[in-house]
Structure 1
Amino acid sequence: MTPITPENLLEELHRAAGVVAGITAALSEEDVKAPSELPGWTRGHVLAHLSGIANAMARQLEFAARGDSIELYDGGFEGRTRAIDMAAGHTLAEHRADVDAALGRALQDFETLDAAGWQVPISYRGGVVLDGGLALWRELTIHATDLGTGRGPETWSRAFCEHLFEFLAARVPEGERFVLQPLGLPAVAIGAPGGRSTAINGMLTDIAAWLAGRTPTLGSLRATAAADGVDLPALLPWPAGVPATR
């Protein structure tokens, strides 16, 4: 796997933000009210969440630069949910303004960082600014797909998919090991060393989509254990950055 450095992460953030902004600019008023790929959420909910996470990550950096720490969202998970529900019904113009402002704020904050700045601690996952940048990359890229405008997981880059393999290793159940075998690429093992092994074969983006709880788009995935075909294994919940209970 190619390591993610601050330099190439900044490029990826600009690319992902450009995709989100481009999709938002092409939506109509009716499009915003239509269902997204996420159950129970309209595209307006997804746009509200994208604005919220970009602003939330920006303030992580802004407080960290002052030597302070602040939770990701005001009011934690409940505050996040309330804010999304309140903003979901905004007009198209309001969503565009919110998304553009939030993305601009976050990108500007990341652009001002020097080498040491990427390693400053933040409250998000008890990590550092680099972890916040990776989280924003994930949110922008995956939720651009969730908007359901035809840009599916097949558009995810190799670097992004390989990052998901590493980050979503937390979804492998205890005592199990998944050997991810993307077509034409080296295998990647995640989970418990020596655990019960299941091989997952398929296109790179399809494996990443499955791990992320999204629908593979390029073909079928195949799972084998001890050389026998088996069902795709169950996954643990997504490793949440904001606790659902306080």
Structure 2
Amino acid sequence: MGTVAAAPTDTELLAALRAAAEGIHQEIGGLGEDAVAAPSELPGWTRGHVLAHIEGIAAALARQAELARRHEQADLYDGGKAARDRAIESGARASAEVHRRRTGAAVDRAVAAFAALEPAEWETPVRFRDGVARDAGLALWRELVVHRSDLGTGCTQQEWTAGFCRHLVDFLAPRVPEGQAFVLRPEGGEQIRLGGGSDDVVLAGRLQDLAAWLAGRPVSHGAVRAERDGQAVPRPELGPWPSAIPA
């Protein structure tokens, strides 16, 4: 039974980042004023909020990689979560053209920053999650792929690759409540056990839907089915997202 996803190599991660960035460019290239102001898939957020967040997190993660090359460190966001939230609210009201320019530039800067890393520099310590530059690169991958789907313009989790889904599932393992264990049974794939509790809940469905559900994203009725001791049960509650930003 699988438990930990195989991490992509640095070359594979860079290729995934470039593909994810291209996906963001495709989305912002077709958005007009009404589309930017329309609701996203995230409750309470317009597409403008999502784009402002992508801009902010891409710039923040780019800085982690840029500083790693100089063997320097800084927090993910200057001013912490409060400053991050203010920037999103302010940036959400920008015009479609401004979003295209700012978000596109931030995403390109981030991909370029990780592409500039020498092989040994992927292991350079960064402040983000008290990890290394590779951790920041993986975070950029998650942010670009998941938030592209959050825009609600047609790209859904069904387009997520199996490799990305396995990585996301592994990253979200801390969302399993204490005392429980989730046994994921993806269609046509190996079982994945998350959590160390003894109360097993079996969750079955497509790998993409299982990953999206763990990420708190909407899935269609019946796409993720839960069982306990062979009996159908409601899908369990999830713990909080493993945030890297202190509240």
Structure 1 consecutive aligned stretches of length 4 or more whose deviation exceeds 2 Å: 217-220
> 1:104 Cα shift?
1.4
Tell me if structure 2 keeps the 8 A contact 1:206–1:218.
no
Query: 1:9 aligned to 2:8?
Result: no
> 1:62 Cα shift?
1.5
Quick one: which amino acid aligns to residue 120 of structure 1? T
Tell me if structure 1 keeps the 8 A contact 2:181–2:193.
yes
> In structure 2, what is the Cα distance between the partners aligned to 1:218 and 1:164?
22
Tell me if structure 1 keeps the 8 A contact 2:69–2:117.
no
Aligned match for 2:128, one of 101, 124, 130? 124
Corresponding residue for residue 179 of structure 1: 183
Q: Secondary structure at the match of 2:154?
A: coil
Corresponding residue for residue 243 of structure 1: 246
Q: Number of paired residues?
A: 243
Corresponding residue for residue 86 of structure 2: 82
List gaps (5 residues or longer) in structure 2. none
Q: Describe how 1:215-234 pairs up with structure 2 within 5 A.
A: 215-217=218-220, 219-234=222-237
> In structure 1, what is the Cα distance between the partners aligned to 2:220 and 2:6?
24
> In structure 1, what is the Cα distance between the partners aligned to 2:235 and 2:220?
16
Tell me if structure 1 keeps the 8 A contact 2:65–2:117.
no
> In structure 2, what is the Cα distance between the partners aligned to 1:23 and 1:233?
33
User: Which structure's relative contact order is higher, taking Cα pairs within 8 Å and 6+ residues apart?
Assistant: 2
Q: Deviations over 1:85-144 (max 9, x none)?
A: 111111111111101211111111111111111110111111111100110111100100
What's the TM-score once normalised by structure 2's chain length? Answer: 0.95
Query: 1:209 aligned to 2:212?
Result: yes
Aligned match for 2:161, one of 157, 163, 178? 157
CA RMSD of aligned residues (A): 1.2
Q: Secondary structure at the match of 1:235?
A: coil
> In structure 2, what is the Cα distance between the partners aligned to 1:221 and 1:42?
27
> 1:219 Cα shift?
5.0
Q: Describe how 1:23-172 pairs up with structure 2 within 5 A.
A: 23-172=27-176
> 1:218 Cα shift?
8.6
> In structure 2, what is the Cα distance between the partners aligned to 1:44 and 1:124?
25
| Percentage of matched positions with identical amino acids | 47
Quick one: which amino acid aligns to residue 207 of structure 2? L
Q: Deviations over 1:158-194 (max 9, x none)?
A: 00110011100010011111110001111000100x5
Quick one: which amino acid aligns to residue 23 of structure 1? E
Q: Deviations over 1:30-88 (max 9, x none)?
A: 10111111111111111010010110001111222222110101110001001111111
Q: Secondary structure at the match of 1:121?
A: coil
> 1:222 Cα shift?
1.1
> In structure 2, what is the Cα distance between the partners aligned to 1:184 and 1:124?
35
What's the TM-score once normalised by structure 1's chain length? Answer: 0.96
